[in-house]
Amino acid sequence: MKEEIPLYKYDVKVLLALVKTLRGDKLFFKFLLENGFTELAAWSNAIRGDVEALKWLLTQGHPTLGVLSNAIDGDKKAVEWIGDTKDEFLINFASACRGEKQGYIWLKQKNLTIFVYMVTEIREILKVQMKENTFWYKWR
């Protein structure tokens, strides 16, 4: 099995395309798929609530991205798994995505600007998901 690539090792241009897919941009999604970044396209969809994309990550050699998606959502087992990795980036990124200040501060202190931007987009997605799940009766 091929070794997973940590998010911070992708080229910034690829990460920018990833952020665009988080916003729902299909052209950038297609770019990721056609240029060998299927795992990032799947992760984007998993964050946006696609259960099949999450399953794909977990079964196709990208379990860290799958667990990271769940940790971002606050799943206790996933948060614990991420913590057990001792990977400062994963711990702080997931924490920042959940709205925890210390993770966000860590990213800013490390000058990981693309990930600060990504966290902002993910936080917006989570807000919309929360609203849709909380006020389901208003959306029907």
CA dist list (Å): 17 to 25, 27, 82, 113, 130? 9, 9, 25, 15, 25
Torsion sign across C-alpha atoms 11, 70, 86, 105: positive
Contact indicator for 72, 126 with CB cutoff of 8 Å: yes
CA dist list (Å): 111 to 23, 37, 81, 106, 115? 23, 24, 25, 9, 9
The pLDDT value recorded for residue 68 is 97
What residue type is assigned to position 27 of the chain?
A: L
- Structure token pair of residue 38: 């299927």
Residue listed under structure tokens 């860290």: 64
Q: Measured between alpha carbons, how far is 91 from 97 in angstroms, rounded to an integer?
A: 10
Q: Measured between alpha carbons, how far is 97 from 123 in angstroms, rounded to an integer?
A: 6
The pLDDT value recorded for residue 64 is 97
pTM of the model: 0.89
DSSP state of 7: G
The pLDDT value recorded for residue 50 is 94
- Report, as ranges of residue numbers, the positions in the chain whose pLDDT lies below 50: none
Q: Measured between alpha carbons, how far is 108 from 114 in angstroms, rounded to an integer?
A: 10
The pLDDT value recorded for residue 128 is 73
The pLDDT value recorded for residue 19 is 95
